[in-house]
Amino acid sequence: MLALGIDPGTAICGYGFVEQVQGRLIAKKYGAITTSPKARMQDRLLKIHTELDALIKEFRPEVMGIEKLFFGRNATTAIPVGQARGVVLLAAAQNNLDIVEMTPNEVKMSITGYGGSTKEQIIFMVTRILNLPEPPKPDDTADALAIAIGASYEAQSLTRRNFI
């Protein structure tokens, strides 16, 4: 099963494709879609959608994991993240992808077993689980890979439950 994880953002939108092969998770492709803060918001969102749509068409994942929108202390930041999340969900719908939504704590639990894990612990575990030669950069890419891993686990769990 090939899972796509997305860490949505308008400046940096991290993505990661993770596939389960013979019981091991393997990173197929990962990186970030970046946009210029000088560009108009609609142009930034269009770039995210266009590049993500092309990646989905190229790799054909079976499921997409995305973080549930989390309103922390800064609601101003949440608005552009919500806009990016919207175009990501649009790309998923256009490509008929199943969605697994996870809270940040659920992602941390699936990677480290502890919902209060630090960013450094997540990056370490993603690097180790996927046997990467070095930690993925930027952090948004590591987060996207963590989300892909969590979505892969969740999708497999749902598949098993449907057969019982």
Q: Which residues are catalytic?
A: 7, 67, 140
SS percent in the chain: helix, strand, coil, step 5? 50, 25, 25
CA pair distance 33, 43, nearest whole angstrom: 13
* Bond before 61 cis per omega within 30 degrees: no
CA atoms within 13 A on the CB side of 1: 22
